[in-house]
Amino acid sequence: MAKKRSREADGTTEASDKMAVDNESSDDEDFDMVNVDFEWFNFNEKIDFHGTKSLIRQLFDVDANLFDVSALADLILSQPTVGSTVKTDGEESDPFAFLTVLNVQEHRQKKPMAQLIEYLSKKAKENESLAPVPELLASGKHIGLILSERLINMPSEIAPPLYSMLVDEIEAAVEDKEPYEFTHYLIISKTYHEIESTLNVEERKKKKGKQDPTLYHFHPEDEVLQKHALAFGSYPFTKIDEAVADSKRAFQEMGVMPKGSMILIDASKFTDAVKAVGEYLSPPS
């Protein structure tokens, strides 16, 4: 399989490029086990364009139409030695997950990055918790924009290898004098909260009072990353409405309202944050 840039010279070991995950479900009568082998690959522009584009659309949800998603996918695929895809059926198959980092300053003049800078700056201004973000994006500093997404049923255990590989690849790239020496990392992700369905209007009118909804993470590793963050917070998607949340109910009384999320981490704390993700999510040996 395609493998990543090695750092054997200094004795650093790469994260495993293959993981077997058992998904078990049982009740009083049935017992099922599914064995799945996940494999990690470099980005391949000849294979991964459509899969990467689809995952980008999932990451930005209804706001994906605000960007040139094809150009953003091309930008990600243009740096194959930094970042990873996760697949289950060999390199020729579509990715089920990806993680990468883009240098905001290096790509500032390119259309997809310019669109992202404008969008993220606007969204950060809507949440006081994200106050440092717009200034940093405009500062000219080398900010590492981390984009990560996976299919909704992918196990969270794939996150530690993705992040560990990224750390190694960034270190190797810096040694090779490539532009990956960052001052900060800005991780783009998603959160959600449950809302009462608009299909039950009369029931909602009868209820008194209003409680702040509990915020949940689509990616469990975000809870760990936030503990190492300089700033973090969620923001509403521009094109979201309650009808969209209703469409995501899937046989539940509550709708799901997705939101965008940003986590800003000082570069000096990123490696420790990644180690903490590994300790939290790595499967037992």
Per-residue pLDDT of 52-109, as tens digits, reads 999 999 999 999 999 999 999 999 999 999 999 999 989 999 999 999 999 999 999 9
Q: What is the mean pLDDT of residues 162-191?
A: 97
Confidence of residue 11 (pLDDT cuts 50, 70, 90): very low
Q: pLDDT tens across 17-49, in order?
A: 666 555 544 444 555 666 778 999 999 999 999
Taking the C-alpha atoms of residue 36 and residue 23, their distance in angstroms, rounded to an integer, is: 8
Residue 231 has pLDDT above 90, yes or no: yes
pLDDT of residue 267: 98
Tokens at 71, concatenated: 């150009």
Confidence (pTM): 0.84
- Check whether 183 has a pLDDT greater than 70: yes
